[in-house]
């Protein structure tokens, strides 16, 4: 029971304590305003270039903006603890490390779902994106798995934040690399071979591909392989993140560098 309290209540309290976007006046422009302009920008650039229809850009960007919470949120989870000098007392507790670490990921994952859902609503309201109602449950599953996968990547970034002097630089780099490599705005087959190979090893790529097919009317059964691949990639990144977290925690104790900026 204590591990469940650490996971749910500890993660919730840490989220409220660390993020100034909790207040609506910060949350709306930061977490909801940016996705609007990202989706509209790429959709209208795509219209001008004649590359793809609006649905292509809406789905790709609406899934990708979940990274705003998943990647930036997890980076700030570690960076915020270091900045407020609460990281050392936190890691001095006997709390289960898995529950501690994963509990901090849960609110960011939920936030990613909210941001992504808002992105789809923006696309439906302002652009030529009108998926059939029958596709919505499958589309929701694609977003759920993709948001979990990108949160796992954010956990890797957050773990590196235990040693990095500027974890937000890495978070920004990862966010825009996902925008470039995962077929968000350019079809994956049109990318150079080496970029396509990297993209297929990253979170979001298979989830975006599955979401596009489902939004186009394909049955969920036809994209099950893509979703299982996306889930497997997310699980690998989560395991790597937890391993890095434990390694850097141990190294930080030995070097007394947990809060060195």
Query: Is residue 55's pLDDT more than 90?
Result: yes
Q: Helix count (H) and strand count (E) of the chain?
A: 13, 0
- Percent of the chain scoring above 90 in pLDDT: 54
pLDDT value for 1 = 54
Question: How far apart are the C-alpha atoms of 51 and 164, rounded to whole Å?
Answer: 39
Question: How far apart are the C-alpha atoms of 147 and 151, rounded to whole Å?
Answer: 6
- Each residue's pLDDT tens digit, 6-17: 888 888 888 887
Question: How far apart are the C-alpha atoms of 209 and 182, rounded to whole Å?
Answer: 9
pLDDT value for 149 = 95
Q: Is the model more confident about 33 or about 163?
A: 33
Beta-carbon neighbour count of residue 99 at 10 Å?
A: 18
- Each residue's pLDDT tens digit, 70-84: 898 888 887 777 777
Residue 216 CA to its chain's centroid (Å): 24
Residue 175 CA to its chain's centroid (Å): 9
Question: How far apart are the C-alpha atoms of 55 and 120, rounded to whole Å?
Answer: 10
Structure tokens at 232: 């497997």
- Each residue's pLDDT tens digit, 210-255: 999 999 999 999 999 999 999 999 999 999 999 998 888 887 777 7
The beta-strand segments (E) located in 43-129 are none
pTM to 2 decimals? Answer: 0.91
Helix axes 34-49, 97-126, angle to 10 degrees: 50
Helix axes 67-83, 136-160, angle to 10 degrees: 30
Structure tokens at 114: 């909210």
């Amino acid at each position: 029971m204590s591990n469940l309290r650490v996971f749910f209540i500890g993660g919730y309290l840490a989220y409220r304590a660390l993020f100034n976007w909790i207040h609506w006046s910060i949350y709306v422009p930061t977490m909801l305003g940016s996705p609007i302009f990202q989706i509209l920008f790429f959709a209208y650039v795509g219209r001008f270039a004649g590359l793809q229809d609006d649905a292509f850009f809406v789905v790709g960007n609406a899934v990708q903006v979940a990274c705003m919470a998943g990647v930036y949120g997890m980076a700030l989870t570690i960076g915020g603890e270091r900045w407020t000098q609460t990281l050392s007392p936190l890691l001095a507790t006997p709390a289960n490390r898995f529950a501690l670490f994963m509990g901090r990921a849960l609110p960011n994952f939920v936030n990613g779902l909210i941001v992504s859902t808002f992105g789809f609503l923006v696309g439906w309201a302002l652009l030529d994106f009108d998926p059939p109602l029958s596709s919505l449950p499958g589309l929701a599953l694609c977003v759920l798995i993709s948001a979990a996968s990108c949160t796992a990547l954010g956990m890797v970034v957050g773990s590196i934040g235990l040693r990095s002097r500027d974890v937000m630089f890495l978070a920004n780099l990862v966010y825009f690399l996902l925008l470039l490599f995962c077929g968000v705005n350019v079809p994956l087959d049109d990318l150079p071979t080496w970029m396509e190979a990297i993209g297929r090893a990253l979170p979001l790529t298979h989830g975006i591909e599955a979401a596009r097919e489902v939004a186009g009317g394909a049955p969920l059964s036809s994209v099950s392989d893509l979703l299982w691949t996306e889930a497997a990639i997310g699980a690998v990144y989560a395991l790597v993140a937890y391993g890095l977290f434990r390694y850097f925690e141990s190294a930080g104790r030995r070097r007394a560098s947990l809060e060195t900026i």
